[in-house]
Amino acid sequence: MTADERGQLWHGRFSVAPADELVAFTESLGFDVRLLFDDVACSKAHVRGLQRAGLIDADELGLILGGLDTVEMEYRAGELDFLASDEDVHTAIERRVTEVVGPAGEKLHTGRSRNDQVATAFRRYVLRSLDSLAGRLLDLVDVLIERADEFGTRAGSAYLPGYTHLQQAQPVLLAHHLLAHAWALLRDVDRVADCRRRTDVSPLGAGALAGTSLPLDPDSTAAELGFAARFENSLDATSDRDFAAETLFVCSLIAVHLSRLGEEIVLWSTEEFGFVRLDDAYATGSSMLPQKKNPDIAELARGKAGRVIGDLAGFLATLKGLTLAYNRDLQEDKEPVFDALDTVGGALLACTGLYATVRFNTDRMAAAADSPYAAATDLAELLVTEGVPFRSAHAIVGALVRTSLDDGVPFADLVAAAPELGERALALLAPGVSVLRRTSPGGGGPDPVSEQRLRISAAVADLRGRFGAPES
Give contact residues for ligand ARG (rule: CB under 6 A).
28, 32, 88, 114-115, 118, 326, 328, 330-331
C-beta of 105: minimal distance to ligand ARG in Å? 19
* Whole-Å CA distances, 303 to 265, 309, 312: 13, 11, 15
In contact, 322 and 330? CB cutoff 8 Å: yes
Closest CB 223 distance from ligand ARG, rounded Å: 25
- The smaller minimum CB distance to ligand ARG, of residues 82 and 273, is found at 82
The CA distance from 430 to 426, in Å, is 7
Which of 43, 153 has the CB closer to ligand ARG? 43
Identify which of residues 241 and 302 has a Cβ nearer to ligand ARG in the complex. Answer: 241
Q: How far is the CB of 294 from ligand ARG (least distance, A)?
A: 40
Please give the Cα distance from 245 to 326 (Å, whole number): 16
| Nearest-approach distance from CB 202 to ligand ARG, in angstroms | 17
Cis bond leading into 283, ω under 30°? no
Query: Is the CB of 33 or the CB of 223 nearer to ligand ARG?
Result: 33
Q: Which is nearer to ligand ARG, 204 or 253 (CB)?
A: 204
Q: Which residue, 290 or 321, has its beta carbon nearer to ligand ARG?
A: 321
* Closest CB 88 distance from ligand ARG, rounded Å: 4
- Tally helices (H) and strands (E) across the chain: 18, 6
Shortest CB 233 distance to ligand ARG, Å: 18
Number of Cβ within 10 Å of residue 456's Cβ equals 18
Active site residue 165: yes
| In the complex, minimum distance from the CB of residue 82 to ligand ARG, in angstroms, rounded to a whole number | 14
Burial of 294 (0-12, 13-18, 19+ CB in 10 A): middle
Nearest in space to 87 (alpha carbons), one of 164, 31, 47, 145: 31
Please tell me which residue in 165, 213, 287, 472 is annotated as part of the active site. 165
Q: Which of 252, 257, 286, 404 is catalytic?
A: 286
Asked whether the beta carbons of 122 and 247 are under 8 A apart, the reply is no
Nearer to ligand ARG, 88 or 264 (CB): 88
* DSSP state letters, 291-334: T--B-HHHHHHHHHHHHHHHHHHHHHHHHTTPPSS--GGGGGGH
Between 24 and 454, name the residue whose CB sits nearer to ligand ARG.
24
- Rounded Cα gap, residues 137 and 131, in angstroms: 10
For every residue of 205-226, DSSP letters joined together read: T-TTTT--SS---HHHHHHHTT
Residues 6+ apart with CB under 8 A from 301: 258, 259, 261, 262, 347, 350, 351
Distance CA 77, CA 18 (A): 31
In degrees and rounded to multiples of 5, residue 205 shows phi and psi of 110, -10
Query: ∠ at Cα 143 (139, 144), nearest 5°?
Result: 115
CA of 67: how far to CAs of 35, 59, 125, 429, in Å?
Answer: 17, 12, 22, 78
Q: Least distance from C-beta 244 to ligand ARG, angstroms?
A: 11
Which amino acids are annotated catalytic? 165, 286
